[in-house]
Structure 1
């Protein structure tokens, strides 16, 4: 048989196939390069657009700030280099000229939105100050935080050139621009040691930043003292050669990223479609090439080694003889371990990997069995670092003759360590590293299952930190977290290795002590914990201190389950906290009964308002000299359905703790004002406010609503406030009292004299009167020291233009002394006990008729 055409040679077919595959790959590379170029160009253009936006907004912000500072600086220069300013402030400050005639007065605040204006003497003393448009005695160095003398020195230097100085400082924790200039009659006057300084403070408050934000489209504008908390842009750093650094930071509109987010998905979808088309074309080319090559190529059976390699997934490949002596290692072995291959050829595999040689032979024999598992082993690399590995193995046979073993090794170090980390995280608190609730329950159950006796008890200590909430509120949660870590370290230092410390969350800790043999040992451990936790903690230059209260439950005395011990420890902890701070308390069954009784009382109180079980009584207050009624104090009583009439001491603390005090206080205010409407117009009604009400910002709004609903004249309502309100948060309390005074009501400090700084509060807070605590009146008619003390309080109150009321008058002699000492008003059982609203109304009517 003859052929008319030349046959296609095998080499030619392979060449054609290779050319077709190369062409298809080149086409794919071109398409990928094209899409990649378009994508990169799109990303570059979008990012460039965003960068130009950032630069433009930063330039606008800089111009805005420069214009504002120029405006204030011009005003400052006009006021400071003014002969009238020098004339009326040199020697002594003419307040009438400066403030009342508004030459250096309130108009600066309304016109230029300043927050503080000060005149500071040559010796850096504050001679004149206006804060928020009002005259103030606050020293400028107290109000402005920073190196104010350095700014004054700079102002002195700049004055030679008729210039002013400014820098950035902190005012009450808020960034501020502070301007300063020397007050002098003309530029020839250079006796600076005799001249005063005029200082303007422009605080970058949230309201000002909001105005700037809207005017210049600086969305989310924030001002930070120091460097910004993150390095994102846009931002503007402000700093002079004196003062602090201030960073302005806002959000970019990110138009480029917006464009990118719209077009990239479209480009991606187009790329997917093109990829599918190219893939289909390449598959057809490959299929045609394979058909040509298959027609000329003889099938060959791959060697056993490469067949096994193709079936296994491995990191590096090994092969041994029948005695498990290495005869081959792949190049990946050196890349992954750093060990040379030739150093291990001819050595046993068991020297390289730690495994059981008999297990390897058995696994290789059953390599084709379903569900086979790899052999776990370990090895060390060239740096002597330990690696965890999986060993896969199969037999190498020629016919029925075993020639050796071959397989792969997969490094699972990262997976093993990650599993260990996950195991640790699941049992430990992420903040302190202590055991968590899950680990605590596991530990308790294990120890309790081992059995306990009177000779080997187990003590569970439930700890709760005292004074921790003010640290979080004052310094922030980051500082609070550091304090918790320090406390965790302190607790760990007090226990033994066999004990367990756990954090349940917040500021709650649990100590499981297993080596305490007696109650005395547990007491010593509690005392050691209290002393260690009470040590001052220094964080970020601030020294803070916390205490702890501890509740103790013991097994087998109190319970034999983890749930019971934790519950009893919590009950004992509540008992310890109710008795004060830095105390520990062992659990007693009676505590549980008190807890249940308290819970029942709480449930009853929640229904009491709806059932109208609360009652008001009024204790009259008299003019001490004329003994005519001037007012009455509203006192609440609870007519309990089963426990008869309860005094406030039985339920007010519980109402404050559960939050029911707000609803109860609204009811008392409303009822007291309604009753007062039936009295004579000059008779006041006094209502006590709980300190808890000042922890919310709505107390003024609630009282305004009561006044509006009842129609009572605000000046007839007197609110009695204890000093503890100021001790908790003096700044917030002052703000709230100003809001109350704006309603027109009277404010009186109750129990005056029991706090440690009442005089300071009387000077700073807008009180109308004080009530001398009954403890000072008890011995008034018996000791001269008591009389002198009461006399001093009355004199001080009158000096501050306050109405002084003596509480607790129980004898005629006490009343006589109060009148003799010129006290304004008196109140007590001798003058009148608390009576019902109807009885008090009758007393008032009888007084009017007499």
Structure 2
């Protein structure tokens, strides 16, 4: 079928030329507007940058002064609200205690930079004075210029709320921060008219200002007394309701103005160049518009259209010219794809459908009425959804001249996707979408059959999640499934497209890394996986955390079959879990021997309790001052029939892993309490609890049963708990500890100081005491910082009314230091090694007789 030719438009090029000139004029306006906006934006950003720089430096200065004042305020509060300070300064000042022993002495000048320290009686008379770290007879009111009496009155009011008072005065014409607090024994003491004041003076000298200037980049920092109303910025005005005002001033870098001076000339030069370019383009555009007019008149001709298939068919019809450019699309095309026909007419068919253009020509030549073989192709609809299609084609002739090609397209997407989905399910895990065991086996066998060399090895990473079971038990399997999906996503983020990630079931995953060339590459991948999986996962308002342990086997180094690599990876995984979890380990042949040894040790341990092979030893704990025994820590040993006496480090981790720790713990508790019955009633017995025992709900019942069976007084039993218990589940641990306290037993935090948030636990949990970790005691007599750290821990424990025990005392010097720092109790090899129950009973009796 042919169509009549369309009328040829008139031969008038003026409309197109006018349109070109209008477009060019609009273009010029746009360019000018852009340059104007760019210039104004540059000016605005430069001025804004300078303004933000001023605000930022003012905030830095405020933080610097606030940090310094907070530091001095904490030191002042610690010394003023200290019962020892009250005891040694009330009535008369004990100079050896205050100055010589440096409780309120020269270290305040050397450590905190305090220029003046004063103790002033209730009548504002200076009783004790230190100037620049040296004792002095100078009266505070003579040295400090300002109404000191008002500050002392404010300090008296603030002390009722455990607060201090401070104000700005001048010392020798220099601004200074003067802080004051009442020296009182405790917060309940309210007879302030009989109490003295502790006053700290921090003079804002040039040296101190230079330190702040260098730390916060405040060039030319100066401090001036009084308000300066017209002072330029940046500046910081300091004013309290007592004392004088202080104004800080410094220089701003004015980076914005510097940028403005550099870039405005460049922007002007660029504008000149663009103007010259636009002028040149104007002539070319007018010439091109005239050529387009001529081309439009020449291309307006009649086209021939035909239809060989009905529009009612389910497929859509297409036609092209000999170059495979579309000339016709049936209305069914828009109905099925959502794409407008007019948008595609004139464009190549290959842009609409993905197919081989050469094969289309061949298929059209060999098409006849009895043989129509479709071509497979793909296309995307208006929603960018991929469709799979069958393309039928034939040649279109008019006489002996080829006019083009025509045919139909049939959508077979549903059939292809259904087949692909069935294939996908047979090779992938339904929960995570990762490869399953079948896919993994096929993949490994294919890669291993291709041959591997030392230059292109294959690393198999076996992953097992840590702390996943408690999540399943606590939140349910639905949450557990969500966690597994998040972990699968985390693993996929760390791996490459060429790697294979599989889930074997439960919380076990496999990564086959093909792009790792060396052991170092594999280590980096493992570290990245551990860090990514350790990130908290937010599910239904709860943050849950899991970790992972990784075992690594490599081909061709360790094995050349899928079975061997999986087995060796599992062995290395067990080694990683045995070494503390959240680790990775490469397979080594010696690991097989360790596994066999571990299995034998596990079998021996299951028989050890029945054979009565476990033993208890007791390490005495002494009053640090009187050297009298106040308690003993029960420690378990295993008298192995072939390996001699084994320490807890050899079998406790295995007992925790196999679940035998609960039976062993019951035995230790029972034996320790029975032995304690033969001691003096004032001697405590301490038993360590495993963190795993807090994961079961029967801990309180087990402790109560031991107390009932043995008849021991509950207050004589002390349970030592490590900080990891709180890290696992803080809320559950707090509930469990409150129930234990209800039984009447004592709770002590073991290895205090090794965690990152022990102070928070001490304030929130019902502990009776803390044991300072031996690592701090080892450094006690080696440096002043070590002694200061131990002193801080002891002071903090006493402030919270806790009994403080120093463990790991191995020398007389360490014991002397502990006594000097007023530690309550001490334990260590120097005082007494762990001994059998009989020997400990004799030691207790000898101490009582002496």
TM-score normalized with structure 2 length: 0.50
TM-score normalized with structure 1 length: 0.50
